[in-house]
Amino acid sequence: MNVTLKSIEETRQMVDLLNNLAEKGECMRWAIVDKKSRVVMGSCGYHKVQTEHRRAEVGYELGREYWGQGVMQEVMNAVIRHCFEAQGFNRIEAFVTVGNNRSLNTLEKLGFKPEGVLREYEFTQGEFHDQVVLALLRRDWDVP
């Protein structure tokens, strides 16, 4: 999802959803914390785990004031390593709202390949949004 949460209540709902998925073993989410100030800058992780197919979907959010600093490259390298090495996934997928070029560029720098556009795939904040689907296969992963 690439929609900005607009209220504390929306943020609480997202946290509750992710906590429930984690309790069921269907996801893992980490806070992204600034090493110096210890301020939470965002979150990242994986969800939609399909154990029998050895795949999952990754996602992340980062506060706008931290964009363009290389934070997500560093963080997502660790998430990818965890997915392939600790979880044994063969495929990691990501979905990005069409027009979110920053996120597309980040994922492509990490080795993700675009596979197509899913038209009106998500309905968020009262609108349908097209999503670009990207994937990274274990065999294509360039270990950092």
- pLDDT confidence band for 125 (50 / 70 / 90): confident
Q: Is residue 54 part of a domain?
A: yes
Tell me the sheet residues that pair with 91.
55, 137
* Residue 90 belongs to a domain: yes
Domain range for 38 = 8-140
Taking residues 95-99, report their average pLDDT: 96
pLDDT score of 1: 40
For residues 33 and 40, give the distance between their C-alpha atoms in angstroms, rounded to a whole number.
4
Q: What is the pTM of this model?
A: 0.84
Q: Is residue 53 in a domain?
A: yes
Q: Is residue 84 part of a domain?
A: yes
pLDDT at 129: 96
Residue whose pair of structure tokens reads 């596979």 in the numeric block: 115
Q: What is the CATH number of the domain that holds 51?
A: 3.40.630.30
Number of structural domains, the chain? 1
Position 2 in a domain: no
The CA radius of gyration of the chain, in Å to the nearest whole number, is 15
Q: Is residue 3 part of a domain?
A: no
pLDDT at 5 over 60: no
1 within a domain of the structure (yes/no):
no
Per-residue pLDDT, 7: 65
9-37 average pLDDT score: 77
Structure tokens at 23: 């309790």
Rounded Cα gap, residues 129 and 132, in angstroms: 10
Q: What's the pLDDT score for residue 73? A: 94
Query: Is 100 inside a domain boundary?
Result: yes
